[in-house]
């Protein structure tokens, strides 16, 4: 079951695997462990699961329209992930969105390109993580301070510990004596600020999303009303990493240049009725790894979309494969 932590466990021995991070990779890891019969608990510092698949009602929770502020969509190639998505689709949790995205080049030229089917979620991508978390032991609102040899999380012994998060965040938690600390040291990740823009009416032709190449402020613009399927006059823009770095201490400072950039790109005359900025200090790895995950001899695992290409499917696969590897190691 999911819920807040109700009290500290001070027992010297714990039979659970502890997964730190309640994004899709951490939850997928926990599901794989549970399927193997291995007791597991997920520790998530936020008040809900989701990680970088976060979505929320905007403006300020007063609207029924849920806006995706993290990943823009997901694709499906892996057969096992395809089965999971088919189940989501059958239950109305996920839907195919588009196989064609627009592209805006630095010279002002617009074009479109067909590619793999992009998927979205009517209730926001976070709803998919919440669905995967059903039946798991998830402690939300739980901030972890340190992972130490043993392994242990804040002094609580565990059979194994999994860190499902970007490398810089894992590096802050890992004791230097742990082998995993070496694997995440000095790994560079790129920041992004997502800016949601709500308008009084739609003054643009409906489109899916557009990659913006070579722009100093914006890398991508998504039509959230098209993505959600309700036609709401909401756009979500992802900043360039350069623009994000200038506003990591003040995400709202990115709103004005993003509003101006979107107006120019789409030929909008109206100002948005409301805006919302969300900072992602570690949105994607500068250099993704080729391995799917890491599991060290001292039973500390690392997973997420930094292992492989930075995609939703990669994060799910990384967590799933690590969960199976941990269960196999513990069964020997």
Q: For the segment 53-90, what is each residue's pLDDT rounded down to a tens digit?
A: 999 999 876 667 899 999 999 999 999 999 999 999 99
Q: What is the mean pLDDT of residues 165-189?
A: 97
Please choose, from the candidates 38, 51, 84, the residue with its C-alpha nearest in 3D space to the C-alpha of residue 163.
51
Task: Examine the pLDDT at 11 and tell me if it is beyond 50.
Answer: no
Q: What is the average per-residue pLDDT within 1-20?
A: 56
pLDDT class of 265 with cuts at 50, 70, 90: very high
CB 3 within 8 A of CB 25: no
> What confidence score (pLDDT) does residue 308 get?
85
Residue 14, pLDDT above cutoff 90: no
The mean pLDDT value of the chain amounts to 93
Full strand arrangement of the beta sheet holding 110-120: 110-120, 95-104, 209-212, 218-223, 234-239, 189-198, 274-285
What does the alpha-carbon distance between residue 26 and residue 323 come to, in Å, rounded to a whole number? 9
Lowest mean pLDDT among 167-171, 176-180, 238-242, 284-288: 284-288
Task: Give the residue from 146, 186, 139 showing the smallest Cα distance to 30.
Answer: 139
Q: How far apart are CA 22 and CA 36, in angstroms?
A: 19
Q: For residue 62, what pLDDT is reported?
A: 64
pLDDT at 3 over 70: no
- Over residues 287-317, the pLDDT tens digits come to 989 999 999 999 999 999 999 888 999 999 9
Task: Write out the residue limits of the CATH 3.50.50.60 domain(s) in the chain.
Answer: 1-56+127-187+289-332
For residue 7, pLDDT beyond 50: no
Q: Is residue 4 pLDDT above 50, yes or no? A: no
Residues 323-330 have a mean pLDDT of: 98
Say what the pLDDT of residue 304 is: 97
Separation of alpha carbons 42 and 125, rounded Å = 19
pLDDT value of position 60 = 75
Task: Using the predicted structure, report yes or no on whether residue 209 has a pLDDT greater than 60.
Answer: yes
The CA R_g of the chain, rounded to the nearest whole Å, is: 20
Q: What is the mean pLDDT of residues 32-51?
A: 97
* Section 169-191 average pLDDT: 97
**pLDDT score, position 309:** 84
Task: Name the phi and psi angles at 316, rounded to 5.
Answer: -60, -45
Considering only CA atoms, which of 137, 128, 252, 155 is closest in space to residue 196?
Answer: 252
Q: Does 331 score more than 60 pLDDT?
A: yes
Number of C-alpha atoms within 13 angstroms, CB side, residue 148? 8
Residue partners of 11: CB distance under 8 A and separation at least 6? none
Please tell me the pTM assigned to this model: 0.93
Residue range(s) occupied by CATH 3.90.660.10 in the chain: 72-124+190-286
- What ranges make up the beta strands (E) of the chain? 2-4, 17-20, 40-44, 55-57, 66-68, 95-104, 110-120, 137-140, 147-148, 152-153, 156-157, 160-164, 189-198, 209-212, 218-223, 234-239, 274-285, 294-295, 300-303
The pLDDT, as a whole number, for residue 205 is: 85
Q: Cα–Cα distance between 135 and 69 in angstroms, integer?
A: 26
Share of the chain above pLDDT 70, in %: 95
Higher-scoring residue by pLDDT: 133, 310: 133
CATH 3.30.70.20 fits 72-124+190-286, yes or no: no
What is the per-residue pLDDT for 175?
98
Q: What is the pLDDT of residues 219-262, one digit of tens each?
A: 999 999 999 888 999 999 999 999 999 999 999 999 999 999 99
Q: Is 3.50.50.60 the CATH number for 1-56+127-187+289-332?
A: yes
What pLDDT sits at residue 63? Answer: 66
């Amino acid at each position: 079951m999911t819920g807040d932590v109700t009290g500290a466990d001070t027992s010297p021995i714990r039979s659970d695997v502890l997964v730190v991070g309640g994004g899709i990779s951490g939850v997928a890891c926990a599901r794989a462990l549970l399927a193997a019969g291995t007791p597991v608990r997920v520790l998530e510092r936020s008040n809900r699961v989701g990680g970088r698949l976060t979505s929320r009602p905007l403006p300020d929770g007063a609207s029924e329209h849920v806006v995706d502020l993290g990943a823009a969509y997901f694709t499906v190639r892996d057969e096992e992930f395809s089965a999971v998505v088919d189940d989501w689709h059958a239950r109305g949790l996920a839907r195919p969105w588009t196989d064609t995205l627009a592209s805006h080049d630095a010279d002002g030229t617009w074009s479109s390109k067909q590619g793999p089917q992009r998927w979205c979620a009517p209730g926001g991508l976070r709803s998919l993580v919440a669905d995967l978390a059903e039946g798991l032991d998830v402690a939300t609102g739980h901030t972890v301070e340190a992972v130490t040899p043993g392994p242990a999380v804040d002094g609580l012994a565990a059979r194994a510990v999994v860190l499902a998060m970007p490398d810089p965040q894992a590096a802050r938690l890992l004791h230097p004596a742990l082998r995993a600390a070496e694997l995440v040291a000095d790994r560079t990740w790129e920041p992004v600020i997502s800016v949601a823009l709500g308008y009084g009416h739609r003054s643009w032709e409906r489109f899916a999303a557009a990659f913006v190449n070579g722009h100093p402020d914006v890398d991508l613009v998504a039509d959230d009303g098209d993505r959600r399927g309700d036609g709401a006059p909401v756009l979500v823009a992802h900043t360039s990493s350069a623009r994000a770095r200038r506003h990591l201490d003040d995400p709202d400072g990115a709103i004005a240049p993003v509003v101006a950039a979107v107006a120019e790109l789409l030929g909008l005359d109206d100002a948005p009725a409301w805006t919302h900025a969300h900072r992602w200090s570690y949105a994607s790895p500068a250099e993704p790894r080729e391995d799917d995950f890491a599991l060290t001899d001292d039973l500390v695992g690392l997973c997420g979309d930094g292992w492989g290409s930075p995609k939703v499917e990669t994060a799910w696969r990384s967590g799933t494969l690590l969960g199976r590897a941990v269960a196999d190691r513990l069964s020997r």
